[in-house]
Amino acid sequence: MEIENCSFPSPWERETFIMTLEDPRCICYVARIDGLTIGYCLSLDMKHMLHVLNLAVHPEFRRRGVAKRLISEMIVCAKTRERIYVVLEVRPSNIPARLLYTSLGFLHVSTWNEYYTDTREDADVMVKKIEESAG
């Protein structure tokens, strides 16, 4: 909750975390250093895709490749489960996150108008197509 609260203008409530983590479709990766949680990524495993619901890294541990590793693990998970896409939404103003996703091969495929109810900002939908591995 500490990481969540300092990472988002409208952070998830504790109950939302619990509800998501209790969902059998939820995939959660946590990054830890010496037992200390420094980041996390939560996705829902859907029929053809993994839908990334939340990603955050503690401000003191940013720009060290933690988020890149978390999303990369989600991509590996999607591949292992033979899903076709990894999908997520991002605020157009969130340049660090957009750069992260672009660097991992996500493409902007659609925009949902006024998706975020707090600021009425649009959401950019970004998709990474999972390539079939050779052999």
The answer to whether 126 contacts ligand COA (rule: CB under 6 A) is: no
Sheet containing 123-129, strands listed edge to edge, beginning at the edge strand earlier in sequence: 26-33, 36-45, 49-57, 85-90, 123-129, 107-112
Which residue bears the tokens 């895709």?
A: 49
Interface pick for ligand COA out of 14, 96, 112, 129 (rule CB under 6 A): 96
What residues between 47 and 66 interact with ligand COA by CB under 6 A? 55-57, 62-66
Do the Cβ atoms of 26 and 20 come closer than 8 Å? yes
Token pair of 91, please?
């605020």
Measured CA distances, 74 to 5, 14, 112, 124 (Å): 23, 23, 23, 19
Interface region with ligand COA, contact rule CB under 6 A, candidates 77-85, 92-100, 107-115, 117-125:
92-100
Of 19, 31, 21, 29, whose CA–CA distance to 57 is shortest? 31
CB 91 to ligand COA: min, Å:
7
Biggest CA-to-CA distance, the chain:
47
CB 53 to ligand COA: min, Å:
10
CB 18 to ligand COA: min, Å:
20
CB 78 to ligand COA: min, Å:
17
Q: What binding mask, one character per residue, do residues 8-47 give for ligand COA by CB under 6 A, x or -?
A: x---------------------------------------
Question: Which stretches of the chain bind ligand COA, using CB under 6 A?
Answer: 7-8, 55-57, 62-68, 90, 94, 96-97, 99-100, 103
